[in-house]
Structure 1
């Protein structure tokens, strides 16, 4: 009738990965119990600091909780050539631990045998294109709750891929990877990658004041604000900017972020982040990998395209 996870946010993400509409378990609610609320923030869990597990369990039995239908990422992979589910030339990886909702770093992957290729694959469809070429489509049963990272297997190689967001024209880009998150994941890794620091805001405000030589009144007001209690002003602007990165876990939207885009005469990124209903990524020079909630790693070859969407029917039924 229900699934209960006992541990931290990582355990919750692990349990969530097993609940899927494809396997017939999508209707099951997931209750998360924090076994160490004094040392674990437990953003996804019922009992925070000051509440015991016993109290949370009692609330479950009495129905005294707030229901939250958290949206998840629906992933479909289209292949124009290589068979879906085949072993990649490189070993597939499994992350050492899930990407916690409050983590500041994504876990580093470790190499495991290639037999773990497509462990989350559940449905494969075939269809012919208009020119008669056979294409293969596969949906993944693992619906990431937090985020998906699209990157190279190692940290150093530059990612060269084609990215398409909603109905915009596709762009060929170079960068260190793409993070695609839900509202739940917008407070996790994606947030820590995108947030601005107070020191950066202070530097921008100082530079802006210096640029207002033609408007001495505005220049004086900014400099005075920075010198007299300027920390409050910096913190206020920092909070205002960072608050735009977080959105409701129940909203059927994705947020995408390009990490460290390379921009020069040849390559340009028209927009490095934003909200979308659909994002697609196609490798152009070397295979990439999809890191799902830090739990599962899926290879993406250069003749394959990954599509990321949100389907409200995939929502995970949780409680706080």
Structure 2
């Protein structure tokens, strides 16, 4: 990849071979690109503008008419910096004590403080530029990011990285409430979903002016709708906010403050005739007379959150095998064992899904060498450029348009044997049904919200055009 300066953004770069802009143009870019394998760089770091050339739809994707952006109120969702996180978790208001605590753990207090200050400076820039443009703004963090706050605003801007963007999207349920991401840590965060990727705060004024001038495209990113069914008594539909759970962790232990139940105590609770667990965690189940029990109530519900990146289904502990039945589109239901299933949108195809399935140059080189030996054909296994090109071609086909109405799925570490026949480990689908056979399984939406998904629970995931998220890309 060869680069030159982008004339529209003096610190942005352009790949001279493809003509695509590199929206992360900071001073250390060249060094980082030399460290990253060329095949991964070529697959991941691509200008979103080609989507404009491919799409002319008005119902989804990119609209053809010149867009209008004249908000009166903007809600700014600010990330919780690592410095703020450590202060909250440790309960330390004294920075000297916090510095000593972090030092004992091998963390750099000064680095965290500097990152926090960079974020705050960028945040102030966003506020001041909006005020200069005559736009009222309000800053909230995740604890105050409520439905009421969202309804107050015409537009939601997220100040952080992709994680903050996902949080911002999670509270938006209509197609006419734009979400615009601003990456406030260009050095430390990729910001795939953010408007300016890795451009520093000095470029925010010109970016805002382009928005006000209508020099952009609306991009409607498709999301995954999830319908769950299962026994109400088993807690189907109960959710856990994983980020809030992390923030509520006790400082001196890895156990969560709420909801920590050992397997043995859970078993005793389920078996009401059991004696309380002994110190070793073992309980004794007493035989009791049979009694009449009302049949479990089965409920079906659409989850209140939509997945912008991916849905993961599997056991809570990755070391445990996930057991389930799966149906792809109108195919037959198939039993599978694996390390779980990831189902993603086009937006999520550059994220976890990509990293599960990507080929490395080492793998391609070894495959070429083996193929050469087996087929007695000379193949360029040691040609680094050829190996890199093959890698790039394979990895690029994993990524698809964020406005696509299809989903991609991948089965992590599938188990194939005499009992579980081989099935397609990766592919595309319009609708996927999964029935759980697990006992400590969860369905996780965008890595942020987890739902119980144990034996007998069923999930249907699909993409509906009306669930799309309104976002922005530059022309």
CA distance in 2, matches of 1:112, 1:280: 34
- Number of the residue aligned with 1:166: 329
Q: 1:226 aligns with which of 366, 381, 391?
A: 381
- In the TM superposition, 1:27-42 aligns within 5 A as 27-42=176-191
CA distance in 1, matches of 2:169, 2:236: 26
Report deviation, 1:95: 4.3
- 2:46 counterpart of 1:46: no
Q: 1:110 to 1:37 in 2, by over 3 A?
A: farther
- 2:443 counterpart of 1:290: yes
Q: 1:157 to 1:16 in 2, by over 3 A?
A: same
- In the TM superposition, 1:104-123 aligns within 5 A as 111=256, 113-114=258-259
Q: 1:50 to 1:304 in 2, by over 3 A?
A: closer
CA distance in 2, matches of 1:296, 1:205: 42
8 Å CA contact 1:83–1:136 kept in 2: the answer is no
CA distance in 1, matches of 2:234, 2:469: 27
- Number of the residue aligned with 2:472: 319
Report deviation, 1:153: 1.2
Q: What secondary structure, in the 3-state scheme, does the structure 1 residue paired with 2:232 have?
A: coil
Q: 1:96 to 1:236 in 2, by over 3 A?
A: farther
Which structure is richer in relative contact order (CA contacts within 8 A, separation 6 or more)?
1
- Number of the residue aligned with 2:402: 249
8 Å CA contact 2:326–2:434 kept in 1: the answer is yes
TM-score by length of 2: 0.54
TM-score by length of 1: 0.79
Report deviation, 1:82: 3.3
- 2:348 counterpart of 1:188: no
Q: 2:232 aligns with which of 75, 79, 82?
A: 82
Q: What secondary structure, in the 3-state scheme, does the structure 1 residue paired with 2:388 have?
A: helix
- Number of the residue aligned with 1:207: 370
Report deviation, 1:62: 2.2
8 Å CA contact 1:165–1:276 kept in 2: the answer is yes
Unaligned runs of 5+ in 2: 1-153, 247-253, 261-295
Report deviation, 1:207: 0.7
- Number of the residue aligned with 1:94: 242
Unaligned runs of 5+ in 1: 99-108, 116-132, 214-218
Equivalenced residues, count: 276
Q: 1:310 aligns with which of 463, 466, 472?
A: 463
- Number of the residue aligned with 1:123: none
8 Å CA contact 1:145–1:185 kept in 2: the answer is yes
By percentage of residues, which structure has more helix?
Answer: 2
Superposed CA offset, 1:146-182 (max 9, x none): 0111111112110010011101111101001100100
Q: Which has the larger radius of gyration?
A: 2
Report deviation, 1:269: 3.3
Q: Which moved more, 1:298-307 or 1:157-166?
A: 298-307
Please tell me the root mean square deviation across aligned C-alpha atoms, in Å.
2.5
Report deviation, 1:136: 2.2
Report deviation, 1:134: 7.1
8 Å CA contact 1:34–1:53 kept in 2: the answer is no
8 Å CA contact 2:183–2:198 kept in 1: the answer is no
CA distance in 2, matches of 1:164, 1:234: 36
8 Å CA contact 2:325–2:334 kept in 1: the answer is yes
CA distance in 2, matches of 1:10, 1:110: 24
- 2:334 counterpart of 1:141: no
Q: What secondary structure, in the 3-state scheme, does the structure 2 residue paired with 1:211 have?
A: helix
CA distance in 2, matches of 1:184, 1:154: 26
Superposed CA offset, 1:110-145 (max 9, x none): 856359xxxxxxxxxxxxxxxxx9752100121010
CA distance in 1, matches of 2:167, 2:448: 7
- 2:217 counterpart of 1:66: yes
CA distance in 2, matches of 1:147, 1:110: 27
